[in-house]
Amino acid sequence: MHAPEQYEENKSVARRDIEEAMTDLIPRMEFKQKEVILDYGCGAGTTGYKFFKPLAEEYDSVIHAVDISSEMIQHARENFSHARVTYTQGNILDDDYPLKDVQFDRIFSVYVFHYMKDYKEAMRRFYKVLKPGGQFAFSLVARTPVYNMFSAVGEDPRFKKYMQGYQEFIPQWFEEKQCAEHAKQCFVTTAEDAGFVVKYSKISYQRDFHPSFDTIIGLFMALNPFIKNFPKELIGELWAAKKSSICQHYGQSEDSESTETRHEMLTFLVERPLCTQ
């Protein structure tokens, strides 16, 4: 995500999903005093400020909020600055990840894993930076048209040169005909292979009505990391192409003024054992 204002303006679906996931996961967790918390994929800062900052205040803890996007980090610093929160740009998959030597009591990664190509290596790295006995709560979208859209736009002759490298933003576990149960099992297996114990997992089946395409396409535009490559005169065509992709995905007429989208959300709570054999 590289357009904070546009993302925040159009993320009604994500906002609902995040609220549902955090309301489900946080009461299942065991908090202690003076924890060091990682908010990985903090985005524009709203989720951490609403859900994690109160926990830090209650338990005298500190938060390291990290995002791959410099634009998101700058937005978070400007709008959600707090003495208990430190904002850092970084990618846990990079060898020079700035927090690779920090050990955390607790990790949150909300609505993030579906943007990560090598989710297995990411899981292993989260395990390494989590203290024994620590908990890792995360949520992600199991199936969404955004990846089909990346492929459709990325292979379109009109846009191909502006979308070079788009394949790196399609996760390894994604398949066009994959189901939520398949995605869930992928993450259960990956977490266990990394050394975690899976304490809780859930599939939520979500449906959303959009009275116009503006919100959903605006969200997908904000999620497109290549949008800055496009000349202004092509944005209208890109918008139309995204609408066409959505309609095709859901079997709708392109003359439709509104749309109903469907996706599945996965939520997990995993734990690093105190002792390993």
The length of the chain, given as a count of residues = 277
Report the alpha-carbon distance of residue 44 to residue 231 in Å, rounded. Answer: 25
Report the alpha-carbon distance of residue 38 to residue 86 in Å, rounded. Answer: 10
Q: Which CATH class is domain 4-144+172-216+260-271?
A: alpha beta
pLDDT in tens, 59-69: 999 999 999 98
In this structure, which amino acid lies at residue 75?
H
Which of residues 118 and 36 earns the better pLDDT score?
36
Q: What is the mean pLDDT of residues 19-26?
A: 95
Mean pLDDT over all residues of the chain? 88
Q: What is the pTM assigned to this prediction?
A: 0.84
Of the pLDDT bands very low, low, confident and very high (cuts 50, 70, 90), residue 208 is: confident
Of the pLDDT bands very low, low, confident and very high (cuts 50, 70, 90), residue 206 is: confident
Provide the token pair at 94: 């990079």
% of the chain with per-residue pLDDT over 90 = 56
Q: What is the mean pLDDT of residues 173-181?
A: 67
Going by their DSSP bridges, the two strands 62-67 and 104-110 should be labelled as: unpaired
Which of residues 168 and 3 earns the better pLDDT score?
168
Of the pLDDT bands very low, low, confident and very high (cuts 50, 70, 90), residue 246 is: confident
pLDDT value of position 254: 83
pLDDT value of position 158: 94
136 touches 113 (CB < 8 A): no
Report the alpha-carbon distance of residue 212 to residue 194 in Å, rounded. Answer: 43
Q: What is the mean pLDDT of residues 91-103?
A: 95
Report the alpha-carbon distance of residue 57 to residue 54 in Å, rounded. Answer: 5
pLDDT value of position 86: 97
pLDDT value of position 237: 92
Report the alpha-carbon distance of residue 26 to residue 10 in Å, rounded. Answer: 25
pLDDT value of position 54: 97
Of the pLDDT bands very low, low, confident and very high (cuts 50, 70, 90), residue 73 is: very high
| Furthest CA-CA distance within the chain | 60
DSSP letters along the chain, please?
---HHHHHHH-HHHHHHHHHHHHHHGGGS---TT-EEEEET-TTSHHIIIIIHHHHHHTT-EEEEEES-HHHHHHHHHHS--TTEEEEE--TTSTT-TTTT--EEEEEEES-GGG-S-HHHHHHHHHHHEEEEEEEEEEEEEE-HHHHHHHHHHH-TTTGGGSTTGGGGS-TT--TT--HHHHHHHHHHHHHHHT-EEEEEEEEEEEEEESSSHHHHHHHHHH-TTGGGS-GGGHHHHHHHHHHHHHHHHT--TT-S-EEEEEEEEEEEEE--S---
Of the pLDDT bands very low, low, confident and very high (cuts 50, 70, 90), residue 217 is: confident
pLDDT value of position 10: 45
- CA-CA-CA-CA torsion for 155, 159, 163, 167, nearest 10 degrees? -10
pLDDT value of position 63: 98
Going by their DSSP bridges, the two strands 130-143 and 104-110 should be labelled as: parallel
Q: What are the angstrom distances between the C-alpha of 56 and each of 59, 84, 108? A: 5, 7, 13
232 touches 239 (CB < 8 A): no
Which of residues 207 and 30 earns the better pLDDT score?
30
pLDDT value of position 12: 60
pLDDT value of position 166: 87
pLDDT value of position 231: 93
CA 256 to chain centre: 29
